[in-house]
Structure 1
Amino acid sequence: MDLGLTSEQQAYIESVVKFSEKTFGSINVQSISSSDFNEKNWKQAAEFGFTGLPIPEQWGGSGLNVLDTMLMVETFGKTCIDMGLIFSLCAHMFASTVPLWKHGSEYLKEKYLTDLAQGKLIAANAITEPGSGSDVYSMNTTAIPSAKGDYFYLNGEKCFITNAPVADLFLVYAKTDTSHSFLGVSCFIIDRNTPGLQVSSNRQKTGLATTPWADIYLNDCKVPSNQLLGSIGTGAAIFHESMIWERSCLFAAYVGAMERVLNQCIVFSKERKQFGKPIGHNQAISNRIVDIKVRLETSRLLLYKVGWQADQGKPNELDVALSKLWISENAVQTGLDAIQIFGGMGVSKEVGIDKLLLDALPARIFSGTSDIQRELIARHIGLR
């Protein structure tokens, strides 16, 4: 694996830096502390290409490979403080648009894919339920075919659905065979205005505040059979693949955010003086900053290894779990250390250094909890 960046990759990074600084450089911490979705920011990011980075150009995307997609997302995380916006874009791209690209019929691709890749339509991935989180395939939502087989009737409830309040489309996972777990799940693409589909109001959050999320309710929701993604019983496999993409690429944003916070800590530790010298001269502070640097670089190495493996077509589920676990846990610890370094200002809303911690805490939960990643790793190394 060559860790040096090509001239083309460097150009990608520079383009994100210029775009982000010009478009989002004026965003302040106060403006992203409320749970309000900013449609203007979404559209600007979509026009730049952040809703279809790996999608082929023929479908309106940028056609980037996995590693280049990671580099773009990482740089966005470094240069834009609104992690809620980044998370919303990535959830749309990796958990919804990629599955349509990989598994959709020509009919579904022609109908939706270009508009999704260009961010003209917003998508939400709906699988989590009140009674099935980590045990995701024990869902209670059902999809029963009509007598003629031309429709399915979906009934159930989904919760914590990212982008739901603003979504035009939903990828909804439901049981088409309740006697099976993994093989009993199917996936449907449902338009927001479909009768029987109801979306709750936006739910408030402390972290990733600008990412909208809500519950959805399905009450005899009548979905045409041609809105089935893949085939009957392949929904679990589709979801599993989408999580590989999300765990791989979305977490690049946290690597970028860790680098941004590291730089803030270095500058502050040089400028802030106590006992007549910069606090960075004190080992208690410098050791914390060194630890942040080590966590950043090891996270980046794991991330890039996963991207390289994916582009080489190599199996990498173990390394994806290692990367997701390591990055999410390190982002939380980096957030804690940054607050400690900044002292009283670390919990000041005006300074906003606590945003990494608030935005990173959910990273240990979504896309498979840290404990689930440990279970996957244990299985791969022969402990299960």
Structure 2
Amino acid sequence: MDFEFDAQTNEMREMIGEFARNKLAGPGVFDPCEFRRRWRLAGEQGALGTVVPGEYGGLGKGAVTAAAIMEALGHGCTDTGFVFSLGAHVFACLTPIVEFGTEEQKRHWLPPLCSGERIAAHGITEPEAGSDTLSMRTRAERRGDVYVLNGEKSFTTNSPVADVFVVQAVTRPGGGCFGLTTFVVEAGTPGLTVGRRYEKVGLRGSPTADLRFDDCEVPASRTLGPEGGGFGIFRTSMAWERTCLFALYLGVMRRVLETSIAYAGERRQFGAAIGDFQAVSHRIVDMALRLEAARLMLYRAAWGLDRGSTDEVSPALAKLAVSEAAVRAGLDAVQIQGGLGILNGEAETALRDALPARIFSGTNEIQKNNIARALGLGGTTRPRSHPSRRGEKWK
């Protein structure tokens, strides 16, 4: 077991962290022009092409390095919503194209998506199909050389500014896991409408809106993977998202921990620094404990992805650990700062930005259901194999 990054990854982390601190700070309110300006800077820095092979304009790195870069972005950039948008672009949109796209599709889409010239959005969630993906109602009917899409998508990250949409639709009603197909749809395609941008409690720097498809014709050549292969593509992208995207919260938690330690050493009450009080110091120790535990679980999941693991439990555990730790870190930071913690600032922002982490990429309750089934609980499903610390498997 090696817990150290290689020299190149460490160098990239430091470079990306410094870049994020100096170049990616948000304006405080969402501005599409400013968003795209920073997006291009991130592309020029290589942050959008971490997992894309070099021949298509990316860095060609694996999950561990990609997670390390996301952690550096989360630590350096105080606009967590913007970093979240970067992660959604990379892991929910580019990764499926890398894994399942044809050579022609890769050469057409990946270079501009890596460079920051184009922004991608992933359309999966629907008003009646959030956690229950197989109940989606968006339909894609084959008519000659095109598919005609009809339906709605909700909570689509990046959609107000997106140039490309990776969309899941039903091509075989009642087909279950084999009834979904993935499409790449360009913005401006007739029949595709993007709704108004949501105002959210957290991740405000990440633009989100609904999509609507009304007899939207998509060339059959824009199908990603085979017809009926959409569910497998979705599961693959979610494994990457639940692992690598959530590394941004490790960076946020590390930043909040550092500022909490500094504040506890400076703030004085009753003639002493509040960090001298056990109630405060123990709270900070708990913040550090949760961060380190979540970090180990996430990088273990990333390590598995790099080795071609199909284990779905490790990403689910990592998502659970990181999201819950991020919420607790925000609460702790607010409590440590007292009255200042409920004013506009890093502590309350960290808490607001952490709350959605329990919802997106599959709610934490759904993750627990999936893990329970893997353990042989909650139904008749046999346990899936999951590597233990000793290299054995659950039976």
- TM-score bracket for the superposition, by shorter chain length: over 0.9
Q: Among residues 2, 18, 36, which one is paired with 1:39 in the alignment? A: 36
1:207 paired residue number: 202
What per-residue deviation string (whole Å, max 9, x for no partner) do you get for residues 181-213 of structure 1? 211010111111111111112111120001011
Inter-partner Cα distance in structure 2 for 1:196 and 1:14 = 44
Residue 151 of structure 1: how far off its partner (Å)? 0.8
Establish whether residue 308 from structure 1 lines up as the match of residue 303 from structure 2.
yes
1:7 paired residue number: 7
1:240 paired residue number: 235
Report the 3-state secondary structure (helix = DSSP H, G, I; strand = E; otherwise coil) of the residue aligned with 1:177.
Answer: coil
Question: How do 1:171-182 and structure 2 match up within 5 A?
Answer: 171-182=166-177
Which letter maps to 1:22?
N
Inter-partner Cα distance in structure 1 for 2:313 and 2:199 = 34
Inter-partner Cα distance in structure 2 for 1:59 and 1:291 = 43
Residue 248 of structure 1: how far off its partner (Å)? 0.7
CA contact (8 A) 2:167 2:183 kept: yes
Establish whether residue 382 from structure 1 lines up as the match of residue 379 from structure 2.
no
Establish whether residue 156 from structure 1 lines up as the match of residue 151 from structure 2.
yes
Which letter maps to 2:325?
N
Q: Among residues 83, 95, 114, which one is paired with 1:86 in the alignment? A: 83
Residue 18 of structure 1: how far off its partner (Å)? 2.5
Which letter maps to 2:183?
F
Inter-partner Cα distance in structure 1 for 2:301 and 2:10 = 19
Residue 343 of structure 1: how far off its partner (Å)? 0.2
Q: Among residues 358, 369, 376, which one is paired with 2:363 in the alignment? A: 369
2:390 paired residue number: none
Inter-partner Cα distance in structure 2 for 1:367 and 1:227 = 25
Residue 101 of structure 1: how far off its partner (Å)? 1.1
What per-residue deviation string (whole Å, max 9, x for no partner) do you get for residues 256-312 of structure 1? 110000000000000000011000111111111000000010011101111222222
Q: Among residues 349, 352, 362, which one is paired with 1:358 in the alignment? A: 352
2:391 paired residue number: none
2:113 paired residue number: 116
Residue 36 of structure 1: how far off its partner (Å)? 3.4
Report the 3-state secondary structure (helix = DSSP H, G, I; strand = E; otherwise coil) of the residue aligned with 1:328.
Answer: helix
Residue 331 of structure 1: how far off its partner (Å)? 0.3
Q: Among residues 341, 345, 349, which one is paired with 1:346 in the alignment? A: 341
Which letter maps to 1:17?
G
CA contact (8 A) 1:35 1:205 kept: no
Which letter maps to 1:153?
V
What per-residue deviation string (whole Å, max 9, x for no partner) do you get for residues 4-46 of structure 1? 232222211221123223323xx37xx33x3434221111111
| Number of residue pairs the alignment of both structures matches | 376
Q: Structure 2 regions of 5+ residues with no counterpart?
A: 379-395
Residue 119 of structure 1: how far off its partner (Å)? 1.9
Inter-partner Cα distance in structure 2 for 1:267 and 1:214 = 38
CA contact (8 A) 1:36 1:212 kept: no
1:279 paired residue number: 274
Q: Among residues 141, 150, 156, which one is paired with 1:144 in the alignment? A: 141
Report the 3-state secondary structure (helix = DSSP H, G, I; strand = E; otherwise coil) of the residue aligned with 2:47.
Answer: coil
Residue 316 of structure 1: how far off its partner (Å)? 2.9
Structure with the larger RCO, 1 or 2 (CA within 8 Å, 6+ apart): 1
Inter-partner Cα distance in structure 1 for 2:107 and 2:14 = 33
Report the 3-state secondary structure (helix = DSSP H, G, I; strand = E; otherwise coil) of the residue aligned with 1:354.
Answer: helix
Establish whether residue 68 from structure 1 lines up as the match of residue 62 from structure 2.
no
CA contact (8 A) 1:36 1:209 kept: no
Inter-partner Cα distance in structure 1 for 2:347 and 2:10 = 28
Q: Among residues 126, 131, 144, which one is paired with 1:129 in the alignment? A: 126
What per-residue deviation string (whole Å, max 9, x for no partner) do you get for residues 76-95 of structure 1? 11111111110111101100
Larger deviation: 106-115 or 212-221?
A: 106-115
| TM-score (norm: length of structure 1) | 0.96
Q: Which of structure 1's runs of 4+ aligned residues deviate more than 3 A?
A: none
What per-residue deviation string (whole Å, max 9, x for no partner) do you get for residues 310-355 of structure 1? 2223333111110000100110011001100000000111x33211
Report the 3-state secondary structure (helix = DSSP H, G, I; strand = E; otherwise coil) of the residue aligned with 2:78.
Answer: coil
Which letter maps to 1:66?
A
CA contact (8 A) 1:35 1:204 kept: no
Which letter maps to 2:172?
D
Q: Structure 1 regions of 5+ residues with no counterpart?
A: none
Larger deviation: 356-365 or 41-50?
A: 41-50
CA RMSD of aligned residues (A): 1.2
CA contact (8 A) 2:40 2:115 kept: no
Inter-partner Cα distance in structure 1 for 2:11 and 2:240 = 23
CA contact (8 A) 1:54 1:64 kept: yes
In structure 2, the CA distance between the partners of 1:56 and 1:22, relative to structure 1 (3 Å rule), is same
Larger deviation: 39-48 or 89-98?
A: 39-48
Residue 376 of structure 1: how far off its partner (Å)? 1.1
Which letter maps to 2:131?
S
